[in-house]
Chains A and B, each alone.
Chain A
Amino acid sequence: MNRLDATRLLVAAIGDEPIVASLGHPAYDLFAAGDRPANFYTWGSMGLASSIGLGLALARPELRVFVVDGDGSLLMNLGSLATIGWTRPANLVLIVWDNQVYGTTGGQDTATAHGADLEAAARAMGATATVTVTTGEAFAAAIARSRVEPGPWVIVAKVAESAPAVKPPLDCMFIKQRFMAAIGRPEEATRGGRA
């Protein structure tokens, strides 16, 4: 299973639920799999996709919030697992594309290539629903469960690199405003109002 194929499975499996994408290849593959208004593409802040997803999940308990993160990115913000474990939002699904390399920066090994186990870390920090998958079938099954069973979910998907050929929109304001409108809370300043 490569990351683009897995991202396509994800987009096909869920409806219009929000997806927060870590910068670089996870965001590129999400765009390639299907540009949706409910995609929040980050262009920086490496490591923070899971935190953004956590904040969104806390703000909007009625939404199922998906995050596509990378192993290198999550390793940069491991404390996020502790905060997710403490706050335990039932509606958060954190997907970690674990390709064991820093794919966006040239393919250097990450710690998961040398024994680090992100699912075990998530479980140790209190995530209640965790799984590691290595095939498309197992990934699709995990996504199906994560849509209906309470989380927080941490799905570690072992994937191969997929050499993205396209990039999402670059305009950060456009991404934000389109996203907020898509999840039913258009940014106040875009709406007009009383004089």
Chain B
Amino acid sequence: MTVEPRWASGVCAGLHSAGSRHVVYVPDNPLSHVLRILRERFPDVATTLATREEEAFGIAAGLYLGGVRPTVMLQSSGLGNSLNALTSLLIPYKIPTLIVISMRGDAGEWNDAQVPMGRAVRPICDAMGLPHVTVDSPEATDDTVRLVGQTAFSTRQPGVCLLPRRITVPLQGKA
């Protein structure tokens, strides 16, 4: 039986409790746990793969217009690919989306090329006025994702949940 990391089942339970029923994503190694658990245990949550993060936010906006609460999952490197969608679509139209970002470039990183964007993620969110919360521990993931989602959908603005590598890849040390 495959191991079900606590943080990954927490992401699934959290987004589900926040009422999200469609996850649009660009893949990432740690996020593959989330996708597997969604497939196995959350059959009412649809998933759609986007070719690029900006596209994922466009699809999420369309889902919301249709009455579905969307989640977008991406790796932090993809935040750079998302900025025009966030600043000229989701933010001005107040289209709420739960954004779950798997961090690269933070503590535990081995790849130099991931570090600049990893370091820039929080300042970029701040500059756009996007609220972001970092998950503290595997055990806190469920509540953190749920609360960020609830706040996003209730106040109708995108909200970001950051998953640090110390939580998503504590054993392997690489991803």
Q: Which of A104-153 contact B (CB under 8 A)?
A: none
Q: Which of B121-168 contact A (CB under 8 A)?
A: 154, 156
- How many A-B pairs have beta carbons closer than 8 Å: the answer is 117
Chain B residues positioned under 8 Å from A47 (CB to CB): 54, 58
Chain B contact-residue range equals: 20 to 34
CB 8 Å contact bits of A37-56 with B (1 = contact, 0 = none):
00010111111111111111
Given contacts A55-B61, A59-B22, A83-B48, whether A45 and B66 have CB atoms under 8 Å apart is no
Number of interface residues of A (CB under 8 A): 39
Given contacts A45-B85, A48-B89, whether A55 and B51 have CB atoms under 8 Å apart is no
Contact of A48 among B49, B57, B70, B154 (CB under 8 A): B57
Rounded to whole angstroms, the CA-CA distance of A176 and B57 in the bound complex is: 16
Chain B residues positioned under 8 Å from A60 (CB to CB): 66-67
Given contacts A45-B88, A51-B58, whether A176 and B65 have CB atoms under 8 Å apart is yes
The 10 closest A-B pairs by CB, nearest first: A55-B62, A44-B88, A59-B66, A51-B58, A79-B51, A48-B58, A185-B67, A45-B89, A56-B62, A55-B59
Nearest neighbor of B55 in chain A, beta-carbon distance: A51
| Inter-subunit contact B52/A79 (CB<8 Å) | yes
Contact of B66 among A42, A55, A80, A172 (CB under 8 A): A55
Chain B residues positioned under 8 Å from A77 (CB to CB): 52, 54-55, 58
Nearest neighbor of A176 in chain B, beta-carbon distance: B93
Prevailing SS type, chain A contact patch: helix
Contact of A79 among B50, B84, B92, B93 (CB under 8 A): B50
Given contacts A42-B89, A48-B89, whether A56 and B63 have CB atoms under 8 Å apart is yes
Chain B residues positioned under 8 Å from A43 (CB to CB): 88, 92
Residues of chain A at the chain B interface (Cβ within 8 Å): 20, 40, 42-60, 63, 77, 79-80, 82-83, 86-87, 172-173, 175-176, 179-180, 183, 185, 187, 189
